[in-house]
Chains A and B, each alone.
Chain A
Amino acid sequence: MKHQNTIGLDDYEKILIKPNHLKNILKDENIFDFTDKEELVNSKLILIKKEFNSFDAGFILIGKNNNVIEWENFKNYFLSYSDIAKQRCNFNFREISLLLISSDFTTEVREFCQEYNDMYDYRKPIRLFIIK
């Protein structure tokens, strides 16, 4: 499945300490700087700013779950992602991408993400990372 990758065990903790560590994970976006980490307590997501030479270039929203992300978890992440897209980006889903990290994802979640990424082909894709 496209937009599904693996991630190291301690990569998330490294991102929490130094958001720019995302450059090592998102190789296709490593020209950007990732800064200003904001922890969104209610949704258990972190919001990171993406910049290029101090120009705003959008956001990355990251969620992590040590257990398998099944449908209900995923739906909550997604609804939070939608709310943040609405509040921070005026519903412009091209300005914010969702990145989920987990030990695994259920088939239902993977299939949803596949269809979402194919049909909303102008939005940033949802990216799934499995902890290796």
Chain B
Amino acid sequence: MGAFICSISPRDWPVALKKGIYGNKLYKKGSKELLGDVQQLSIIRDLISMKNDDLVFFHVIGEKTVHGIYQVSKEPFYDETKIWDDEFESFPYRFQFKPHPDFRELCLNDACISVHSFYEIIDKGEIRSLVSLEFEQNIERRSIRRLLSIDTKQIIKLLLRDFSRDKYREKINFDYHQTTDFESLNDKVYRVGSIENAITAVIMYELSEDTSNFKKIIGLKGKCDFANEFFVAPTTRKAIDIFTTWDTQTAIIECKSKKVNVFGLQQGLYYRDLIYQQNWYDKTNKIILILVGSSFHKDVIKAVVHLNKIEQFEIKLIKYNPIENNKWGNFSDETPKYNWFG
């Protein structure tokens, strides 16, 4: 089961909570100028793997609180119907949610914890998927962050620890929004082949499915736990495109929209070493490095031929091809064998 934490303004949170709907923006702040393709595709990338019953927490910016525990009730979609009172935005990249049935009592009271409490458990290394909820300079601004499911237990524990009826006065009267006319978020993916966020969005969706072309190609059967833009370590601020675990295997997936070059391979190998050194990582599990691109530099292929002779180095080269007018992609395993002659 997936889990997400979504940032929202204090102005918009009461409406979102009451109507059980969250939306992300289409325009640049305070204008009718569309967000660029890279940014729109990053929003799609971060949302597209969300499934019904996934857990959701909300970070209310400004109030510095984290609210929970909610559950996805309608998978992500695109709809411009006006809900929030904003002059420019309809926040059309949306999903719907409701109180998690096991924690309804908390949600009725809009239970929350302070962001500082949240940071305490991040600092202790009890949360792997996040290093900060803030928007940081030189790091992509993201309102939706996917968490590893193992991290949700700590957040739930905090929400229960800090819950007290005395803190909350009024119960929430939910008045769920009925979405009627919408587009599937999958149909909003575009520019696969030219923007990295697009192929990453495809992979995120395919990882969330029980079976998919991508999962078959990399040898992943059944469900997996995964998160994108996964910080390798708190202070290095280096993010892995996708980190995923299943059974006793772990994979680091690095995506390039075009050709994967030597630097991409070096970077992936470095990230893998950093993960191995983390205290929380089970060092008996092998980490597969998966490089995804539209092609691979011959020096990358040559290096992989040699490095793969030692099993612990397992590196896969997965080629993607844009399909459906660059609105999706399919994958093939291009990992060279030792008798490859370049």
Contact = CB atoms under 8 A, between A and B. Distances in A.
A78 B310 contact: yes
A86 B277 CA distance: 9
Interface in A50-95: 71, 75, 78-79, 82, 86, 90-93
Nearest to A93: B273
Nearest to A87: B283
A123 interface: yes
Interface in B253-307: 262, 265-266, 269-270, 273, 276-277, 283, 302-303, 306-307
A115 B306 contact: yes
Contact of B277 (A92, A112, A123): A92
Given A86-B283, A119-B266, A119-B269, A91 B277 contact: yes
A115 B298 CA distance: 13
Counting from the closest, the 9 A-B pairs by CB-CB distance are A91-B276, A115-B306, A115-B303, A112-B306, A119-B303, A91-B277, A90-B277, A119-B266, A92-B277
Contacts of A82: 312
Interface of A: 71, 75, 78-79, 82, 86, 90-93, 111-112, 115-116, 118-123
B260 to A, nearest CB: 13
15 contacts: A71-B309, A75-B309, A79-B310, A91-B276, A91-B277, A92-B277, A93-B273, A111-B306, A112-B307, A112-B309, A115-B303, A118-B303, A119-B266, A119-B303, A120-B266
Interface of B: 262, 265-266, 269-270, 273, 276-277, 283, 302-303, 306-307, 309-310, 312
Nearest to A71: B309
Contacts of A86: 283
Contacts of B265: 119
> DSSP class of B's interface residues: helix, strand, loop or mixed?
helix
Nearest to B305: A115
Contacts of A116: 306-307
A128 B283 CA distance: 28
B310 A75 contact: yes
A20 to B, nearest CB: 30
A115 B307 CA distance: 7
Nearest to B312: A82
Contacts of B273: 91-93, 120, 122-123
Contacts of B309: 71, 75, 112
A86 B285 CA distance: 13
B281 to A, nearest CB: 9
Contacts of B310: 75, 78-79
Residue of A71, A91, A111 most packed against chain B (CB within 10 A): A91
Contacts of A79: 310, 312
A91 B306 contact: no
A90 B280 CA distance: 12
A81 B5 CA distance: 41
Contacts of A115: 302-303, 306-307
